[in-house]
Structure 1
């Protein structure tokens, strides 16, 4: 039977796609280039996306300004040390919430932090103000900008919530997260976005927050210090690399963020335990006993869900990426054993 011409065209595209996505054991694949670090800990790489999150007035945009200024200058600003590839040394900054007047203050702040002139245009940063547009129009503008702008290595989207209509829509949330993954991979750049936390707790807002937790390379949490509201604290909420030591900053008389040295962090439920590698054997036992309290065996995804609840019971709340690494750690130390496709608890383990 002769197939229609359009089927042959689709078949050709499909074969081309298969060739592109097929993994070869004999080919070498380079690790993504690291472009932003904190004390040697990688928080951003080319081909991935990350986020800053926090409650209103927590100084999220000031934090992002420091990242951008470091990428523009190559200097360490606050604790960020950024270095873009020489062929991708331009930054695209997109603001979806503020007026041109307020965005101008952000751009001015970035250039001052970077030690660059504020009385002339800088070709290495393109700032787009999308407040007056609809979510669909904003996404179209971003697509066009990525297509047209050359040598972009870092994209900031200050207000990812404004790229969708319903923050609690699973389909819209998954769609925009897939868009971030597609843009960052296809254009070989890093995207850093901003999302608010819920007012009542420390969870990222809506279904899009859940998707960010599952897919982002790093999520930074910026929060006001409980005793001094002028100080903002930066922690790793979720991170693929090892966790960095939290740091704090405050806004000086020059309206710029400055590092607060020797700041004393008051531990709370979220940061009582900073890393699973630093936990005692008893802490792991307590968490694992809670994990396997409802079932003696789990499939892999069910195990990750149970580990999340089990470790939250001892004050260690993390996202999927950290839980995957935690699972590997527990398997390596024989705290969890794999039997075919199921996983069970080995109470006789020792760290």
Structure 2
């Protein structure tokens, strides 16, 4: 039986009624009704496509790069304990904040001028201590007292909602929230895989993302979803992660730098409508009790050992800055040896590893590239970046 919710907009309190113990399959829509709906959509698209399209301002930007556009699905992925939830909560605090005078505390993000209602839905933490503390932290970072109840901040727990009821519960809760105001909704789902019974189930996964796309269209929702990575890889968990990668407009990856718990790297794996932002380095600030931008000295101190061995990721990041055009090997090695405390032979080895492993490099235009080595008899070796199609 399909677990896809029906079109009920019943209040969230009735979700656990006995007659709703099992979500019924989505009723089959008559072909003529489907055609009527599609023709109406066609008419609307014809009207919109016949005049200049003015894009709405992104909800959140960073250094002029749009990070979250309205009506999109976005992911934060990372290993267990990599501060995924803290990053997501920081973004929520930023959207709720009443001023930007402490912008540095929000990773130099910029936001839309219009009001946004933030909706946080948790599936993991207990509701007696863990979740209340997280809610307090979001409010305090946004400039509120813990006793304040901002009208544009809504939150609840789905921990006790049966998994097969969670999509129905999601629509019911969003319907209720939207009935109280007309703001665009920014919805955090922490953790996304808890909305399906099996993150390797293709049918459930497709239904989940199709359903979120419907909510984006009908309710002007923008989703931010946290998801765990598979151990030992950079891939988000299971078929859920694969489909999420395809459907998401933006994907961020957060994690410690080579297990160094003093330095955290934030990478932008995907930005559908903009060039990718360069990786950022963060640390956990005890005074802020949250994430903050790492200083140059902090980065230098915590990457010194990696520079001695010319760590592949560090070299790849440097190549993204240097290779704006082709470079001769001797010129490239001269620049690299000034940045890394190792021999030219070690650097040559790392460059070959980057080619062999097809390590992704983000160039100055924010485009993903691979490193190419051009060799020919009697001619000097040349290095250049090639954009990934």
Classify the TM-score, shorter chain. Answer: 0.7 to 0.9
Shift of 1:193: 0.7
User: Can you list the C-alpha shifts for 1:25-72, whole angstroms capped at 9, x where unaligned?
Assistant: 422322242111222221111111211110001111111111111111
Partner of 2:176: 148
Instruction: Call closer, same or farther: CA 1:21–1:173 in 2, change over 3 Å.
Output: farther
Instruction: Call closer, same or farther: CA 1:7–1:65 in 2, change over 3 Å.
Output: closer
Distance 1:129 1:58 in 2: 22
Residue aligned with 1:149, SS: helix
Unaligned runs of 5+ in 2: 1-29, 328-353, 370-384
Partner of 1:98: 125
Shift of 1:226: 2.8
Partner of 1:258: 292
**Equivalent of residue 135 in structure 2, options 100, 103, 107:** 107
Shift of 1:15: 3.0
Instruction: Call closer, same or farther: CA 1:25–1:140 in 2, change over 3 Å.
Output: closer
Distance 2:356 2:212 in 1: 29
Residue aligned with 1:50, SS: strand
RMSD: 3.2
Partner of 1:345: none
**Equivalent of residue 196 in structure 1, options 228, 235, 238:** 228
TM-score (norm 2): 0.66
Shift of 1:85: 5.3
Contact 1:218-1:239 within 8 A present in 2 as well: yes
Instruction: Call closer, same or farther: CA 1:82–1:198 in 2, change over 3 Å.
Output: same
Instruction: Call closer, same or farther: CA 1:155–1:269 in 2, change over 3 Å.
Output: farther
Contact 1:71-1:82 within 8 A present in 2 as well: no
Instruction: Call closer, same or farther: CA 1:279–1:22 in 2, change over 3 Å.
Output: farther
Unaligned runs of 5+ in 1: 1-5, 284-309, 328-348
Partner of 1:125: 153
Partner of 2:6: none
Partner of 1:332: none
Shift of 1:167: 0.6
Shift of 1:314: 2.8
TM-score (norm 1): 0.73
Distance 1:90 1:103 in 2: 19
Shift of 1:149: 1.4
Instruction: Call closer, same or farther: CA 1:9–1:71 in 2, change over 3 Å.
Output: closer
Greater C-alpha radius of gyration? 2
Distance 2:270 2:96 in 1: 25
Number of residues of Structure 1 aligned to a counterpart in Structure 2: 294
User: Can you list the C-alpha shifts for 1:171-229, whole angstroms capped at 9, x where unaligned?
Assistant: 22222122222222322232111000111211111111111212212111110133631
**Equivalent of residue 91 in structure 2, options 45, 60, 67:** 67
Shift of 1:279: 4.5
- The answer to whether 1:249 aligns with 2:283 is yes
